[in-house]
């Protein structure tokens, strides 16, 4: 079961969640009517709502708007969300407050002394608020898509794009979009944006420690380092890459496949670090074979079975009846990974010539309905 939690912006309401029900058929969409006006009061309300939804539904997606996104990022809910859609998010509250101070000709010394100043724009500037923002930087490690309007007069593009780059978020910019998405054209754009991203939902898988998602340009060097490691090449069939041109071409092909909704190809990430790779090796009817590798620096910590189990469960959700994987006979560690995911030995064996030697490849598999828990 799944839920979508909607956190409105300033002046909004929980009732706005009703608009998003059509975009998530079969999913409960919950609007949060939070009361807090500061991160230290709104944050706990959002945390409580996410925890309640997580306990009831198991999986929670967040939609948050403007300052509601900021409050959500201050709520400590990163490890509890499957995905987040942030619309016109306030990503740099410190910078926003400083810009308001500059516009009013207010110095930090003056604000510190007076503690609270009512401005000509009707806003109150608070030293307590600014101090809290600086002492409690937002922590965010959630697969996130951001929508920004190029006519946004509140949030600078640089702050949003910088946040997106730092946290590995997708960023979509609507031409003629404003900070408040409210016109018919703008809301149709929001709907199309979420619909398109939800079509790619299989492109993001989460586990207690890992995220499996598309490869990005920023992952190129980390991937090439792993793919060039002789220890990886002993367990996963990879070509020898000579020079930057070949490396770029090889990574580019895999990146394109990972972004293709019809292909099952993922980078394996620990927080924002690429630590492995998993892909479909071939399909036959309702059976699919997968392959995988983990960076040798991360071996022995259970990441491979954790990623493989998530992949197996997703493939069953997609309609496959059997998932298989192969390993070279001299690589018992890979066999143990398969066993930990509930896979059992299959009668199929084959000899594969790789890197100048003949390797006996044995296969394991699991059928739909069998237990993927550690054996």
Q: What is the pTM of this model?
A: 0.61
Q: Give the strand order in the sheet containing 205-206.
A: 205-206, 210-213, 265-270, 273-284, 287-294, 322-328, 357-367, 344-354
| CATH at 161 | 3.40.50.1820
**Are 96 and 242 contained in the same domain?**
no
Which pLDDT score is estimated for 203?
65
302 within domain boundaries: yes
Nearest to 48 by CA among 65, 71, 25, 29: 71
Domain boundary among 161, 183, 199: 199
Write the pLDDT tens digit of every residue in 195-233.
888 766 556 788 889 988 888 888 899 999 999 999 999
Intervals of the chain under pLDDT 50: 375
Domain boundary among 165, 199, 233: 199
332 within domain boundaries: yes
Write the pLDDT tens digit of every residue in 177-194.
999 999 999 999 999 999
Cβ-Cβ contacts under 8 Å for 338 (sequence gap 6 or more): 308, 325, 327, 364
Which pLDDT score is estimated for 138?
84
Cα-trace Rg, the chain: 24
Domain boundary among 169, 199, 229: 199
């Amino acid at each position: 079961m799944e839920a979508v939690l909607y956190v409105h912006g300033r002046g909004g309401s929980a009732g706005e969640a009703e608009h998003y029900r059509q975009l998530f058929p079969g999913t409960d969409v919950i609007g949060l009517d939070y009361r807090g006006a500061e991160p230290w009061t709104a944050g706990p309300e959002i945390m409580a709502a996410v925890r309640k939804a997580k306990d009831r539904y198991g999986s929670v997606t967040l939609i948050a708007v403007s300052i509601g996104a900021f409050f959500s990022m201050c709520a400590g809910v990163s490890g509890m969300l499957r995905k987040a859609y942030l619309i016109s998010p306030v990503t740099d509250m410190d910078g926003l407050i400083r810009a308001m101070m500059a516009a009013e000709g207010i110095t930090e010394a003056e604000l510190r002394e007076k503690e609270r100043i009512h401005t000509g724009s009707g806003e109150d500037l608070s030293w307590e608020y600014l101090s809290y923002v600086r002492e409690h930087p937002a922590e965010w490690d959630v697969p996130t898509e951001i929508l920004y309007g190029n006519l946004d007069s509140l949030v600078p593009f640089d702050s949003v794009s910088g946040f997106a780059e730092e946290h590995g978020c997708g960023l979509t910019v609507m031409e003629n979009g404003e900070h408040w998405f409210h016109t018919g054209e703008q809301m149709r754009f929001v709907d199309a944006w979420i619909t398109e991203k939800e079509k790619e939902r299989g492109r993001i898988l989460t586990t207690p420690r890992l995220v499996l998602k598309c490869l990005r340009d920023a992952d190129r060097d980390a991937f090439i380092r792993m793919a060039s490691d002789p220890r990886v090449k002993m367990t996963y069939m990879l070509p020898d890459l000579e020079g930057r041109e070949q490396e770029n071409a090889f990574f580019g092909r895999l990146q394109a496949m990972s972004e293709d909704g019809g292909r099952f190809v993922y980078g394996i990430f620990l927080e924002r670090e690429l630590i492995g790779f998993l892909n479909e090796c071939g399909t036959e009817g309702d059976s699919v074979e997968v392959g995988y590798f983990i960076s040798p620096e991360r071996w022995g910590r259970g990441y491979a079975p954790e990623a493989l189990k998530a992949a197996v469960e997703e493939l069953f959700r997609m309609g496959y009846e059997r998932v298989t994987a192969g390993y070279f006979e001299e690589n018992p560690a890979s066999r143990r990974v398969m066993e930990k995911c509930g896979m059992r030995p299959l009668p199929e064996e084959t000899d594969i010539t790789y890197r100048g030697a003949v390797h006996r490849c044995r296969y394991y598999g699991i059928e739909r309905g069998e237990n993927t828990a550690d054996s």
